Structure 1
């Protein structure tokens, strides 16, 4: 069950955005990722709780940021409820999309798991719904994902398989690399893996639920 810490920053000007303290694991229903977010000053700034089914679809998503909350799942595309800070009003949304995305590394793992690409295969287009900080405003976007390479790297605990993806934003044409090992993001724009207490999990071997 990997536990660790990512540092987050603006991918364009490298302004620090805070840290994400996470733990995750495959389980009987698929995969779960739980994280607490802190601001650059160290204050608590939000949380992420994402559960995928065995096919990589979002069974349950809960995001919290600046007193805003989003709860969502794959239902007729993707469906969510967004609640305002006062708690008096809630708005529901639904889009014919494949899954959710956002600044959390969890969403990169989730999209890779959903697409299950093979090295050298043509790029795959995917429609996603993201929730932008600080008020978790929903926005639909289209990306193209390609798995460029899969390589094994020797470690003290055995070979570590690393997948190198190329992700393209179809509205701007901007491309960037994403490196993933198991259920851990090793490197991506705006994301640095700062600490990892145990090796990444393999999706082929179910492990206990992170909150079990």
Structure 2
């Protein structure tokens, strides 16, 4: 069960956005990822300052994502500040978004394949869903994007291609690293994502800072 820490930053101006402390593991029916997000060092939400809790890392959100054996999201619970989204693959992609007061929940459903967002978990999830072959053609995928601070859903279209799979010496054996080329079809922006097993090694806005055990190998 890999356990580690990502640092997150704005991919354009590199402003620190915080850290994501995670653990994840494949199981007999799929894969699960759980994480807690904290504010950048030296900052704290106003609510924490008001309650005198600004000395330690301030929790700003969490991710709990479970995939089935085909890579489909069977359960998602995403939190950012007081906002919460619960969703799953059901007649496309279905979700319920709850506002900070808890009084007005809104439901949504679109013809899409999965969720995406700032968490590296969604990059692993999309790669598991597509199961691309190295050097094969690019595949188009429609995703529901949920990003902090309010987790408002937005449907996006991306193109994914697995351009290379390379073996690296990790000390305990070869580590297979997949290099994906991802294109945002609405803007034309193109970028690379590097994934080993169920861990993102590097991606725009994401850096792997700590990892206590090697990535899990999917069957």
Q: What TM-score do the two structures reach when normalised by structure 1? A: 0.95
Contact 1:39-1:45 within 8 A present in 2 as well: yes
Structure 2 unmatched runs, 5+? 44-56
Q: Indicate the residue corresponding to 1:209 in structure 2.
A: none
Please give the alpha-carbon distance, in whole angstroms, between the structure 1 residues aligned to 2:136 and 2:179.
13
Please give the alpha-carbon distance, in whole angstroms, between the structure 2 residues aligned to 1:155 and 1:103.
27
Give a deviation string over 1:157-190, Cα, whole Å, max 9, x none.
Answer: 1000000000000001110000000000000000
Q: Indicate the residue corresponding to 1:132 in structure 2.
A: 147
Give the aligned CA root-mean-square deviation in angstroms. Answer: 0.5
Structure 1 unmatched runs, 5+? 205-212
Give a deviation string over 1:179-205, Cα, whole Å, max 9, x none.
Answer: 00000000000000000000000111x
Please give the alpha-carbon distance, in whole angstroms, between the structure 2 residues aligned to 1:182 and 1:132.
24
Q: Indicate the residue corresponding to 2:113 in structure 1.
A: 98
Q: Which runs of 4+ in 1 moved over 6 A?
A: none
Contact 1:132-1:139 within 8 A present in 2 as well: no
Give a deviation string over 1:100-124, Cα, whole Å, max 9, x none.
Answer: 0000000000000000000111100
Greater C-alpha radius of gyration: 2
Please give the alpha-carbon distance, in whole angstroms, between the structure 1 residues aligned to 2:170 and 2:204.
25
Higher relative contact order (CA 8 A, sep 6+): 1
Number of aligned pairs?
204
Residue 132 of structure 1 and its aligned partner are, at CA, apart by: 2.1
